Amino acid sequence: MATKRITYVLIDGENIDATLGTSILGRRPHPDERPRWDRLLRFAEQEWRQDAKGLFFLAANGPELPMSFIQALTALGYQPIPLSGASDEKVVDMAIQKTLDALRTYQADVMLVSHDGDFLPQVEPLLGGSRKVGLIGFKEFRNSGFAPLEAQGMEFFDLEHDVKAFNATLPRLRIIPIDEFDPIAYL
């Protein structure tokens, strides 16, 4: 029996949160400025026209799990993956790297939600075949090492503009295609 193809959406929550807070807002995001994670799964399903499974990786080095956040992720259809390790270990990166390696043996597609170049060695072997591989984040902050992978079939999606994962417009400076330019926004 043939199994139905699926897209695995791997979320580097720490990386997205740090980029949003430090690089875009310059402060901790308010609740209305955080990504709407349900939109991300819907985007993945609609973009590649197949079911998507969301894996949300988060560091949980404290004594307690962030249960309200974990419950919210579960209600949205994500599989939360709380991780712990030594203080000098990047446990989220390590887990995503292991997951990307494991996906090499699956007939599945992958959307990685991160900007981190630490995943390049694991992403590159996924390219070149029938598998779809995408990177979701803020275009201006993605590691430049991903750019050459577009020629190998990697697709890039902007978390704000393509996925439309935010209720509020973020204060980002970006190159605006003339077809999208709205002078009213600047008046």
pLDDT tens, position by position, 116-161? 999 999 999 999 889 999 999 999 999 999 999 999 999 999 999 9
Domain ranges of the chain: 6-186
| pLDDT greater at residue 62 or residue 68 | 68
Q: What is the pLDDT of residue 3?
A: 63
Superfamily of domain 6-186: 5'-nuclease (3.40.50.1010)
Tokens of 167: 């209720």
Select from 29, 1, 16 the least CA-distant residue to 112: 16
Select from 67, 89, 88, 71 the least CA-distant residue to 79: 71
pTM greater than the 0.85 cutoff: yes
pLDDT score of 48 more than 50: yes
Q: What is the mean pLDDT of residues 99-126?
A: 96
Residue 1: pLDDT band with limits 50, 70, 90: very low
What 8-state DSSP symbol labels residue 25? I
| pLDDT greater at residue 78 or residue 86 | 78
